[in-house]
Structure 1
Amino acid sequence: MSISQLVLSLVLATMVFSVALELKLDDFRRVGQTPWAVVCGLIPQFILLPVGTWAATLALDLPPNVEAAMILVASCPGGSLSNVITHFGRGNTALSVSISAVASLIALVATPFNFAWMVASNPATAGWLRTLEIDPSGIWVSLLALLAAPMAAGLCVAYRFPALTERIRKPLGNFALFALLAFIVLGLFRQRQMLTLGLLPMLALVIAHNACGLLFGWLTATAMRVAERDRRAVMIEGGMQNSGLALGIVALQFGSDLGMVVIASLWGIWHIVSGLSLALYWRRKDARLAH
């Protein structure tokens, strides 16, 4: 692991810890009593967005590497950032964490399966078919280090040290928001050589793709009639894909193909922008209703 990856991992773990300080075990008990809401969050990630993306690549006349990248990103469910965004948007954070944990386990099988059949069944991308080899230990380490451990630590601190929790909750919450904004700036800086007018069509494609993920989350939550806070969590989970995992697969399996790297990188930047924008809208909506 490089220094930058280590720092990023520590930042993500801290963000999850700060979220956990405002959670209680009763929040997870309530989620356990409504498993239907977890299923609601998995449908957009593993069925609607992948299949919808596959159908779009059949209809669109795009370069095969771009279509393959779209399919790959759609096959990689979101990570811990979705939990922070959900929390900031005052959605059901416990539900978001539960969906992320279950999705990470399902991804061991579903990510290679979805990518393989969708690429193979599209004539334009059939030549791009590769056998994905995702190391299960890597997924487990990610779950334990970036989600389970900091979440358990935060819950423990909040339960055993309420006075300390009250003092550090706000500073850590502010840090989480600052870190999200820093990710956007850093992502733009690292990709500055690609920020040209020629990139606009790719950006438009990513924005439309991400909007579909959010829309599928909203449609699923509305159809299944989950509560408002649950619907926010489902929408964010549907619209935030694990672009980091996608970039890792592109590097290992596709020799860092430029077209695929561009799509995955733009996704990594844009889904934070769209997620934060949606969270800010929800916070303002709540503020208006409170008056």
Structure 2
Amino acid sequence: MALAATLLPAALAIIMFGLGLSLTVADFRRVVAYPKATLIALACQIVVLPAVCLGLVLLFGLPPALAVGMMLLAASPGGTTANLYSHLFGGDVALNVTLTAINSVLAVATLPLLTNLAIGWFGGSGTLGLQFGESAKVVAIVLVPVAIGMAVRRFATAFALRAEKPVKIISGVILFLVIVATLVKEKDNLGDYIASVGLICLVFSVISLSVGYFVPLLAKVGRGQAVASCFEIGIHNATLSITVATLLLNNTQMAVPSATYGVLMFFTAAGAGFLLRSRTAVAERSTV
């Protein structure tokens, strides 16, 4: 996963600039004016998903290191890739950007807390401090390029409007190349990863995406915001959790769930996106 750790942040920064081209300050004003979607998504991310993951870990009977690795993954904030998926499949990108920023800041406290509780519960080793640097890095990758893109939209509106569709296509190509590069890089390890934690990672990914979409819908949140929540909650920052496991906890086995999930999530998220797009098309036809 070293390739993802170096390539993905740079690729996502470019993608975030493209997303900024489609955003205005008014988009964020709507998020502040209607905070329900933000609060529901944060509650799902911080409370519901760790509880779901704990249940899955106990159900599957994972050994301690892999169990802690799964809880570390669940405690990680939403990945910046969620912004791209939301952009491609009709979500409220302003909500995604807001949630990613808030989640990344909150993770400074929640990620060490939940991980240390898991280490104590499952009998792992090591403790985790507050990772301000990693949180600041995630925020910077999201907010700075988006702010630049928004500035271009504000002061060069005609250019931004012309560039929006080509940039969306380029963003999809970048995502595809990242997926291919990840699969090529990890081809020798994929079999072992999938054998040990593939099923639980797949189930966790599907549940995360489902919770992210259906809980906001049940709370009468708008469809675009529910799509944004689906990807924000359903796509965890696997690169961050791998870094924490290998460099800070010095335990490569704890990184296996995140490495496995980091490959699977591209496909489960894409599948969710196409299903949501189909539901939207059906809903639009039924209203005609």
C-alpha change, 1:196 and 1:3, in structure 2 (3 Å) is closer
Corresponding residue of 1:97: 97
Alignment partner for residue 135 of structure 1, among 128, 131, 141?
131
With structure 1 as the length reference, what TM-score do the two structures score?
A: 0.90
C-alpha change, 1:5 and 1:211, in structure 2 (3 Å) is closer
What secondary structure does 2:22 align onto? Answer: coil
C-alpha change, 1:26 and 1:249, in structure 2 (3 Å) is same
- 1:90-127: per-residue Cα shift (whole Å, max 9, x none)? 01111111111111110000011111123323xxx22x
The amino acid that maps onto 1:170 is: K
Corresponding residue of 2:184: 189
Do 2:193 and 2:257's aligned partners in 1 also have CA atoms closer than 8 Å? no
Do 1:184 and 1:273's aligned partners in 2 also have CA atoms closer than 8 Å? no
Q: CA RMSD in A?
A: 2.1
- 1:37-79: per-residue Cα shift (whole Å, max 9, x none)? 1111111211111122123323332222211111110010112
What secondary structure does 1:132 align onto? Answer: coil
C-alpha change, 1:152 and 1:88, in structure 2 (3 Å) is same
What secondary structure does 1:158 align onto? Answer: helix
1:278 deviates by 1.6
Corresponding residue of 2:38: 38
Corresponding residue of 1:76: 76
What is the correspondence of 1:204-219 to structure 2 with a 5 Å cutoff? 204-219=199-214
The amino acid that maps onto 1:225 is: K
1:219 deviates by 4.0
User: Gaps (5+ residues) in structure 1?
Assistant: none
What is the correspondence of 1:87-166 to structure 2 with a 5 Å cutoff? 87-121=87-121, 125-126=122-123, 128-144=124-140, 146-166=141-161
Do 1:71 and 1:119's aligned partners in 2 also have CA atoms closer than 8 Å? no
Bigger CA drift: 192-201 or 22-31? 192-201
- Distance in 2 (CA, whole Å) between partners of 1:198 and 1:37 is 35
Percentage identity across paired residues of the two chains: 23
- 1:162-182: per-residue Cα shift (whole Å, max 9, x none)? 221133222221111111111
What secondary structure does 2:177 align onto? Answer: helix
Bigger CA drift: 40-49 or 58-67? 58-67
C-alpha change, 1:53 and 1:198, in structure 2 (3 Å) is closer
Corresponding residue of 1:63: 63
Do 1:119 and 1:129's aligned partners in 2 also have CA atoms closer than 8 Å? yes
With structure 2 as the length reference, what TM-score do the two structures score?
A: 0.91
The amino acid that maps onto 1:141 is: K
Do 2:22 and 2:161's aligned partners in 1 also have CA atoms closer than 8 Å? no
What secondary structure does 2:188 align onto? Answer: helix
Aligned residues: 284
User: Gaps (5+ residues) in structure 2?
Assistant: none
- Distance in 1 (CA, whole Å) between partners of 2:278 and 2:233 is 22
Corresponding residue of 1:168: 163
- Distance in 1 (CA, whole Å) between partners of 2:202 and 2:4 is 27
Do 1:132 and 1:253's aligned partners in 2 also have CA atoms closer than 8 Å? yes
Answering whether residue 252 of structure 2 is matched by residue 231 of structure 1, we say no
1:210 deviates by 0.8
What is the correspondence of 1:193-272 to structure 2 with a 5 Å cutoff? 193-196=188-191, 199-200=194-195, 202-257=197-252, 259-272=253-266
Answering whether residue 171 of structure 2 is matched by residue 180 of structure 1, we say no
C-alpha change, 1:5 and 1:208, in structure 2 (3 Å) is closer
- Distance in 2 (CA, whole Å) between partners of 1:272 and 1:158 is 29
